[in-house]
Amino acid sequence: MKLFLCQTCGNVLYFENRACERCGHRVAFLPEQETMSAIEPDGEAWRMLASKGESRMLCRNAGYDACNWLTDADDATGYCRACRHNGMVPNLADPAQLAGWRELEVAKHRLFYSLIRWKLPLRTRQEDPRHGLIFNFLADDPNSGERILTGHDNGLITIALTEADTIERERRRLEMGEPYRTLLGHFRHEVGHYFWDVLVQGGGKLEECRAVFGDDSIDYGQALQRHYADGPPPDWQQTYVSAYATTHPWEDFAETWAHYVHIVDALEMAGEFGMEVRPKVDRDGELTARIRFNPYEARDVEALVNAWLPFTFAMNNVNRAMGLRDLYPFILSPAVVGKLGFIHGLVRDVAKSASRPGKA
């Protein structure tokens, strides 16, 4: 994630800002330029100071204070690049459900920031009725004993609205024995399943992926039952990034995908703040890191990991000094780094293809 500047007064803007805190100008995210722009009324549209005075419409979900993005120039839906992938949303007449949906949208928009930065293929259900990416945000039915489960099915990602409840999410984290559970983590994980379909299965990379993550043809339902009955193998941290990744190769891929996005986006944010790690006691330089490259365009996964490990060592200990859990409570073994490298290769191949002449 980047920091941005108000074109009117030069104040720092953050991704979720609706207005500049200094001059009061309304601001919005312009996905075409991957930047925040100060905007001014222009009839029903908004004139963008970041784009030579061109005008755009605000996303229709801005009316619910659930989005601060502008639509594309050729848009006919009224929705931004992120919100046009929405399917079902909760009951917005219910204040509690509206508040929960807004929290989900914060995480979803941060997800789409990364997907847009990498120029990953994003087709809606209107463009691809069978396989397009679509999100359903569903609330539990109080009259039913069943609860909505977060998951992915052939491009349809369902996010349970209850995950927006901090107390309930923490209860589930403890119940599942997880070191980390966030809305953003859910989105990044589930979209990993989608891109397995698109980039691995649909991109002719199935055998290469199986060589790294294992045979995905094994029965998923049985694997899930076995995981919940027996738990992960005792030495799982040698080859997996999380206990849940041990369930099935699909989950291993999705977990690794999510961690790749975590690492890249957090490193970009740290770099934007000019953060570097230089411990006085580190005589060998093993805990030293300077983020002097664009993590979204890293040449290889080693560059990312070499910056990430010192940074997380530092931030984990800062968190402990505040009595908080570690920022990143995971181990990146050589095997996991290899899996991250596979994800990196998939993403970089898309970026290279998109940058070729004749590509949008």
In percent, the amount of the chain with pLDDT more than 70 equals 98
Beta strands in 61-219 (DSSP E): 134-138, 151-153, 156-160
Q: Sort 353 into a burial class: Cβ within 10 Å, 0-12 / 13-18 / 19+.
A: exposed
Residue 164: half-sphere exposure toward Cβ, Cα within 13 Å = 22
- Whole-model pTM: value is 0.94
The size of the chain, in residues, is 360
Mean pLDDT of the chain: 94
Split at pLDDT 50, 70, 90, the class of 356 is low
Split at pLDDT 50, 70, 90, the class of 73 is confident
Q: What is the largest CA-CA distance in the chain?
A: 63
Residue-wise DSSP of 144-181: SS-----EEETTEEEEEGGGGSHHHHHHHHHHHT-S--
pLDDT of amino acid 360 = 41
pLDDT of amino acid 285 = 67
Give the pLDDT confidence of 342-355 residue by residue, as tens digits: 999 999 999 777 66
Give the pLDDT confidence of 120-177 residue by residue, as tens digits: 999 999 999 999 999 999 999 888 878 999 999 999 999 999 999 999 999 999 999 9
10 Å Cβ neighbour count for 184? Answer: 16
Domain extents in the chain = 1-77, 82-203, 205-360
pLDDT of amino acid 352 = 77
Residue 358 has pLDDT above 80, yes or no: no
- Provide CB contacts within 8 A for 337, sequence distance 6+: 301, 302, 305
pLDDT of amino acid 286 = 73
Give the pLDDT confidence of 187-244 residue by residue, as tens digits: 999 999 999 999 999 999 999 999 999 999 999 999 999 999 999 999 999 999 999 9
Read off the tokens for 32: 């075409």
pLDDT of amino acid 39 = 95
Tell me, what amino acid is at 228? Y
Cα first-last separation, the chain:
23
Give the pLDDT confidence of 13-53 residue by residue, as tens digits: 999 999 999 999 999 999 999 999 999 999 989 999 998 88
Residue 278 has pLDDT above 90, yes or no: no
- Provide CB contacts within 8 A for 329, sequence distance 6+: 179, 180, 316
pLDDT of amino acid 357 = 54
